[in-house]
Amino acid sequence: MTGLISIMLLALLLTACGSNNNGNQGAASESPAAETATPAPSEEPAERKLTDGLGHEVTIPAEPKRIIASYLEDYLVALDTIPVAQWSVANGKQEYLSDKLGDTPTIAYDLPFEAVLGFEPDLLIIGGASGVEGDKYNQYSEIAPTFVLGDEVNNDWRQALLKIGEVLGKSEQAQQILDDYETKASEAKATLQAKAGGESAAAIWLVSGSFYVVSDSVSSGAVLYKDLGLAIPETVKEISAAAEANWNAISLEKLAQLDADHIFLINSDGSGAEALKDPVWSSIPAVKNGNVYEFGREKSWLYTGPIANSQMIDDVLASMAK
């Protein structure tokens, strides 16, 4: 799962062994006084050593209970694991997980040392290498075992899910979650091809009066184009080719050229947004044709992970296949 990269800095919201009683029945019949075999004790979870994405050998607690994993909470929740704290920015947090994390305290997204210490975690899971720049890894490791996914894994939500499942000792569950997602995406893709085959779509984010378009290979872009097979508008291709973030600014001039049959608008500015009253917005073909589907900042479109992406598929189907 990548983070929201530089856009987040706008200060807006941007997871028994049963004992085998193999008593020897033949011996028991020959000697009624023979003692019944004592069941073998169940195996207790044990610490494990895993090598993280930066080459650190990390001792993972047998049953971590107080986990902090900034920007990775989607994976934890999918794996039936509630973190001891969840990331936040100045004006909010990941609201789409509020049904599971509503009572979970928040911590600044960049995990300040003193704040982390205050939560007394027994395991830290960090996404990309930038999260432990400088001396941060050593500082975090003094508090709790610290496992860094590394950029390659962190940038691919499927790999991230499987790796976090391994870290938590829930590899089978993680694989099942992934298998279920692939089935859901495949079925949704078939439905959309039958309903709107060949049609294009774009995800646009309105925040602080400015528009951003998602890159074509990450976040909701990956869901729309790779998982669901919707066509990529030329304007999105052009912006994505030079993209340095998940969400990239799109000028009004470019917005006027947006050749998308459908627009998924993530509106962080609310219903009274002045930008949506601009003639340029009204001139876009998808807008004129009534093919704009609006979602608030509480939805999962700005994120990635098994839960976020599954919810996006639900939104797309409800919008385009109704």
**Contact (CB, 8 A) for 188 and 317:** yes
Mean pLDDT for 29-57 is: 67
* 287 is a domain residue: yes
Q: What is the pLDDT of residues 189-201, one digit of tens each?
A: 999 999 999 999 9
Closest-CA residue to 170 (of 84, 256, 60, 93): 60
- Tokens, residue 145: 């075992």
The predicted structure's pLDDT at residue 41: 53
What is the distance between the alpha carbons of residues 2 and 93, in angstroms, rounded to a whole number? 16
**Do residue 132 and residue 208 come from a single domain?**
no
316 shares a domain with 202: yes
At residue 21, the pLDDT reads 35
Are residues 161 and 255 both part of a single domain? no
% of the chain beyond a pLDDT of 70: 86
CB 315 within 8 A of CB 292: no
Domain around 251:
192-320
Most confident of 13-22, 34-43, 266-275, 309-318: 309-318
Average pLDDT on 284-309 reads: 96
**Domain boundary residue among 110, 140, 170?**
170
Report the pLDDT value the prediction gives residue 34, as an integer from 0 to 100.
37
Residue 299 pLDDT grade (very low, low, confident, very high; cuts 50, 70, 90): very high
What is the DSSP code string of 133-181?
Answer: TTTHHHHHHHHS-EEE--HHHHT-HHHHHHHHHHHTT-HHHHHHHHHHH
The pLDDT of residue 216 is 96
* In contact, 241 and 300? CB cutoff 8 Å: no
The domain boundary residue, chosen from 114, 137, 170:
170
Distances (CA, A) of 50 to 57, 162, 167, 176, 295: 6, 14, 8, 22, 40
Whether 54 and 132 map to the same domain: the answer is yes
Supply φ then ψ for residue 296, to 5 degrees: -85, 175
CATH assignment at residue 196: 3.40.50.1980
| Amino acid 53: pLDDT | 98
In a domain, 5, yes or no: no
Q: Dump strand ranges (E) for 41-96.
A: 48-51, 57-60, 67-68, 86-88
Note whether residue 266 is domain-resident.
Answer: yes
Residue 140 in domain? yes
For 44, how many CA atoms within 13 A lie in the half-sphere containing its CB? 5
**Same domain membership, residue 115 and residue 201:** no
Contacts (Cβ under 8 Å, ≥6 apart) of 31? none
301 domain-assigned: yes
pLDDT at 172 over 60: yes
Whose CA is closest to 284, among 316, 261, 251, 250? 261
The pLDDT value recorded for residue 272 is 83
In the predicted structure, residue 24 carries a pLDDT above the cut 50: no
pLDDT in the model for residue 283 = 92
Instruction: Please check whether residues 166 and 196 belong to one and the same domain.
Output: no
Q: Does residue 212 share a domain with residue 306?
A: yes
The proportion of the chain whose per-residue pLDDT surpasses 90, expressed as a percent, equals 81
Using 50, 70 and 90 to split pLDDT, how confident is the model at 302?
Answer: very high
Say if residue 196 is in the same domain as residue 316.
Answer: yes
150 and 270 housed in the same domain: no
Query: Which is more confident, 265 or 13?
Result: 265
Cα 6 from Cα 155, distance rounded (Å): 15
What rounded mean pLDDT belongs to the chain? 88
Question: Does the pLDDT of residue 235 top 80, yes or no?
Answer: yes
- Is the pLDDT score of 264 beyond 50? yes
Q: Which two tokens stand for residue 187?
A: 């079925």
Q: Give yes or no for residue 23 having a pLDDT over 90.
A: no
The whole-number pLDDT of residue 90 equals 79
126 in a structural domain: yes
- Report the DSSP pairing between strands 262-267 and 201-207: parallel
| Same domain for 314 and 207 | yes
Same domain, 122 and 225: no
Domain count, the chain: 2
In angstroms, rounded to a whole number, what is the distance separating the alpha carbons of residues 72 and 126? 8
* pTM, 2 dp: 0.86
Residues pairing with 106 in the sheet: 86
pLDDT in tens, 86-144: 999 877 789 999 999 999 999 999 999 999 999 999 999 999 999 999 999 999 999 99
Mark which of 114, 138, 170 sits at the end of a domain.
Answer: 170
Q: Residues 242, 313: one domain?
A: yes
